[in-house]
Every structure is written in C-alpha cells, then in structure tokens.
Structure 1
Amino acid sequence: MTQMMFRPETDTRPQVVSTITIPEQADAAHHVDVTVSEPEQPADHAGEHLLLVASSGGHLAQLLALRSWWQEFPRTWVTFDTEDARSQLAGEDIVFAKHPTTRNVKNLLRNSVIAAKLMRDVRPTMIVSTGAAVAFPFFLYAKGMHVPTVYLEVFDRVDSRTLTGRLCRPLASEFLVQWEQQRALYKGSRVIGTLL
C-alpha cells in the first residue's frame, strides 16, 4: 500500500491533511480499493472539499467507480450537461462545463473561466479527475494555487498517451494508471488496477 499525504501550502484555512491509500498492485480480479483516512480530523471532514472533474460517459463512469472513497466528503462535480450525467449525479452539486472540449480552443477558454470561478468560490482542498480535456484548466489553476491534484488515466488507452494525460502529467500531484503497460508511458505514475 502507498500512502500519499497532501498538504495545501498556501491556504489560509485551517490545515487539512488528506491521506489516500492506494494499493501497489491490483488484486487478481483487477479490483482497486482506494481508501482515505483523516487521523487528525473529525469524521465530518470539516474544511475539506473535493472537486471531481470528468467528461460525461466513460470518464465519469470511472470516477463514479471510486464512490466508496469520495462519498464521505463534501464535493462538487464538473462534467458536461448530458442526460446520463444528470441521471448518474442526481442529488449531487454539479457545475456543467462547456463541450466539446477535444481540440476546441473556444470551449477551453470558457472552461478556464469556469475553473477560475470554482477555484475561487469552492476553494477545493483536492481535485480528482479521470479526464478528458475538461480537466486541464482545473489542473492548471490548482498548480498555481498549490491545491493537490490526482489524475487517473482512462483504462482503454493502453499503448499510447492521451492528449489530456500528456498535458496534466506535469501538473498532477499524483498520476495513476490502470494497467502496467500505461506506467511506461507516464514517468512516475502508479498502477492501481482497473476500475470498471
């Protein structure tokens, strides 16, 4: 098991430390068990707020697979305004990003404005994303604001790097992959096994 400690460096709020425990290898069934512990924080996770960022569809499905980890935390979702996203996130705090995002400069700029506003208003203590391009402006702002980020590369791209993976790798506090073959594509990444 690997434990990662995230400590926001330039935050005026009370210091919050998040510990994420990630297995070094997936078990035989390729199941990943990600747990979070807060040894010095009350059970209500006071002062913490997750920003969960993912395109709708498969990217969102992979982030939803981590429910046992994020369900205990106050959170805001960023995804696209689609029927499946509305259905899967019913009752959640959702901010809809602009799409399409793949190689779309106009929507990149629009999503950068959304990211700046959310970073200011929500003040997340951690950003977690499974991509795709919607993640990039959030990771960029998070890097500048010293907010820890976790990027989980998609499971269906094994033999080459994704554009978003290439952009977010230098910005991510932790970069996770789901296959051993992906680890060779992203220096310093960790294999956690498949989520779906």
Structure 2
Amino acid sequence: MVLVNLETYFCTLVVLISIPILVLLLRIIHTLPSLHLPPSIRTQPHGKPLSQLPDGSRRIAIFLGSGGHTGEMIKMISKLSLARLDRTWIISNGDSSSLQQAKFIESQVYRAHQGGTNVMYKRIPRARNVGQSYFKSVFTTVYSFAVSSITLLFNRPDILLLNGPGTCVPIAYIYFVYKVLGLSSTRIIYIESLARVDKLSLSGRLILPIADRFIVQWDQLYQQYNRAEYYGILI
C-alpha cells in the first residue's frame, strides 16, 4: 500500500512538473523568431528599408554601446524619424560619452517635438569590460542580466534597437523573456557592426535566434545567414 501511494505521488509530481515545462517550451517555439522566417525576406532579397519601422510603433529603446558602437548607432538613427516616438536611451554604467551624445541629440534634434513625447535614460551594468576574460565575463553578464531585468521591468518599448557590444545581449534576452511570458511585445532589431565583414560578432551570434530583424552591412554576411537583411552600408 505504501509503495502504491509513493508511485501515485511520484507520477502526480511528474505530471505537475511536466505540464508547465511543456507549455513553456511550446510558448518559446511559438515566440522564437528564428523558427519563423518572415515572408518578406523570402520574396525580397534585401529585406525592408530600416526607415520603415513597424506600424503602430509609439515607443522605442535605443542601446548605445559606447565608442564605435555608439558612433555607428548615432549615424544610423539620424536617418530615422523618431521625433514623435517615446524614446528610452539605454547606456552602460560609466559611459558618460554616450550619455552626453544622447542628451545632445535630444536637445538639438528632437527639441521641437519634446511636448508630445517622453524621454528616459536608463543605466545598466556592463556585461563585459574591455579586455576582460570570457570566464570572468560569465559572472558579470549574469549580474548585468539580474540588475537590468529590474531596471527595464516597467519600460517595455515597441522596438528595441541594438548594434552591440556584449552588454546588449542581456538586454535582448530580457525583452525576449518578457515576450515569452506575455509581458511585452517588443520587436528586437539588431544591426551588426560595419566592422564585421566576413564573420558575425559574438553578440550577433547570440542575438540572431531571438532577433525579429537582423541586419548586416556586408553582402558576405547576408549570403551566410538566411534570416539576415542587407541593403548596403547604413552609416
């Protein structure tokens, strides 16, 4: 009798654990962009122009990755019509240069439209410092993910625009987790750095499966990845 009760308890426990796991896996499969190749990329070799942001977009988050990544991002967004969108600038801790550039754009470019939009600046820990070993970066990435999850919890944009470096990886996966859990519908757009000609960056390879749009700036990369979009150099 005791053995039968233990078997019943064990079977019930397995079912109770398996059902949520199965539901979560099905949700991930349904949400994962890499399993759903957009028809537009099948029929249009070079995808859609970057200037055509998703219809109905009202909020955008832009990650400035410091140094050359920030320089590239600033040049690319200068070609977009973002003045009437609510804007969140996400910047790594200690990156005062990127913060100053974001504030300069707000004061000089978007100043005329300030009345109808909201602007926020979010600071998050770096996932990996320059020159840091990959082993140590595992711990800093986990820390960045944990802190960023709290920082970004109540900021769920329609569009997330990224172009590296490593700190953008936790941000992308945070919003993907929110999407899986039904907490947001953020579309992740990743633009690979101009410096990447023949091979994707580590950040690009990690974000490729969860990106709604993945844009490269060289034809060599476009030919290697069937989910990539390419329409020339963007900066």
Q: What SS does structure 1 have at the residue aligned with 2:153?
A: helix
Are residues 1:53 and 2:63 paired?
yes
Q: Which has the higher strand share?
A: 1
- Asked if the contact 1:101–1:134 (Cα under 8 Å) also holds between the matched residues in 2, the reply is yes
Cα 1:37–1:109 shift into 2, 3 Å:
closer
| Unmatched 5+ stretches in structure 1 | 1-8, 11-21, 27-31
Are residues 1:36 and 2:53 paired?
yes
Amino acid in structure 2 at the alignment position of 1:67? S
Q: Which has the higher helix share?
A: 2
Q: What SS does structure 1 have at the residue aligned with 2:63?
A: strand
Residue 24 (structure 1) aligns with: 46
Cα 1:61–1:97 shift into 2, 3 Å:
same
- Kindly report the root-mean-square deviation, in angstroms, between the aligned alpha carbons of the 2 structures: 2.9
Cα offset for 1:37?
Answer: 6.6
| Unmatched 5+ stretches in structure 2 | 1-29, 32-43, 107-118, 180-185
Moved beyond 6 Å, runs of 4+: none
Residue 123 (structure 1) aligns with: 156
Q: What SS does structure 2 have at the residue aligned with 1:131?
A: coil
Equivalent of 2:95 in 63, 79, 82: 82
Q: What SS does structure 1 have at the residue aligned with 2:196?
A: coil
With the length of structure 2 as denominator, give the TM-score of the two structures: 0.61
Cα offset for 1:195?
Answer: 2.3
- Asked if the contact 1:169–1:186 (Cα under 8 Å) also holds between the matched residues in 2, the reply is no
Q: What SS does structure 2 have at the residue aligned with 1:93?
A: strand
1:123-153 alpha-carbon deviations (Å, 9 max, x no partner): 2222110011111112212222222101000
With the length of structure 1 as denominator, give the TM-score of the two structures: 0.71
Count of residue pairs brought into register by the alignment: 165
- Asked if the contact 1:53–1:134 (Cα under 8 Å) also holds between the matched residues in 2, the reply is no
Q: Percent identity over the alignment?
A: 21
Equivalent of 1:162 in 177, 187, 201: 201
Q: What SS does structure 2 have at the residue aligned with 1:190?
A: strand
